Amino acid sequence: HIAGVIFDLDGVITDTAQFHTQAWQALAAKLGVAWDVSLQNGLKGLSRMDSLALILQHGQLTDHYSLAEKKQLAAEKNTHYLSLIQQLTPDDIFPGIRAFLDELKTNGYKISLASASKNAPTILRHLQLTDYFEKIVDPATLTHGKPDPEIFLRAAEIINLQPDQCLVLEDATAGIAGINAAGETSLGVGDPNVLSAADMVFSNTADITLANIQHRMTMTTT
Ligand code: G16
Ligand code: MG
């Protein structure tokens, strides 16, 4: 039975995607890479270096930069991104998320974070949510990014649970694939048509409560 809940950050707890987009778009413009919605959606959930790789590939610039130059470009984007997320406050938490975290605490669930973002601790601090999370996966210690299940397996391990005891909230299709491969229960946040691989989908974070989850679980297992 479910004993722990794992959270993705961007797109589940708050909308940092708008700031990632703004910072990547500025870098793409500087490099002369055309921007479009499919590129923007494809960046969801990818690590910083994987995101840069996708942008360069989009502009057919993959072989134009050395690894050192690529690291420099990623650092430049991150400096810009960090300046943008300074404006985050607890008001930016998605509806119902703090109430759900409170409900989980009250009912003794373990809680961990599986975000690909190296800036996750900074973001949680701005949102004043740090104390809810028993453990946070350090993405710098991972070998593979989403859709690989590694980050989700680690997020269960650090709270001493087996994968089948964990429910994971995630907004990216790459993330849902990783959760399913890890043998955990996937709760998609977003469009049910896009997240059709998830065990259950909530299009509105305000509807994510233990009672509603329980209800959807019985529907999928019987
Ligand atoms: C987030 C975003 C991605 C971003 C990644 C790495 O993942 O969805 O767009 O590229 O983190 O972020 P950073 O450059 O801050 O390390 P998640 O897993 O929280 O959705
Ligand atoms: Mg996400």
Tell whether ligand 1 has an atom less than 6 A from the beta carbon of residue 11.
Answer: yes
- Considering only CA atoms, which residue is closest to atom 15 of ligand 1? 117
* pLDDT score of 44: 84
- For residue range 157-200, list pLDDT tens digits in order: 999 999 999 999 999 999 999 999 999 999 999 999 999 999 99
- What six digits make up the tokens of 161? 């649970």
- Give me 90's structure tokens: 């607890």
Å from CA of 7 to ligand 2 middle:
9
How far, in Å, CA of 169 to CA of 202, rounded? 10
Structure tokens at 63: 């072989």
To the query of whether residue 50 is one of the catalytic residues in this protein, the response is no
- Is residue 11 a contact partner of residue 187, using CB atoms and an 8 Å limit? no
Does residue 78 have its Cβ closer than 6 Å to ligand 1?
A: yes
Nearby residues for ligand 2 (ion, Cβ within 5 Å): 8, 10-11, 45, 171-172
**Ligand 1 contact, 45 CB (< 6 A):** yes
Each residue's pLDDT tens digit, 71-120: 999 999 999 999 999 999 999 999 999 999 999 999 999 999 999 999 99
Rounded to two decimals, the ipTM of the complex is: 0.91
Q: Are 54 and 31 in contact (CB under 8 A)?
A: no
Query: What is the sign, positive or negative, of the torsion defined by CA atoms of 119, 144, 17, 92?
Result: negative
- pLDDT confidence band for 222 (50 / 70 / 90): very low
| Residue 101: closest CA among 134, 138, 149, 137 | 134
Global pTM?
Answer: 0.91
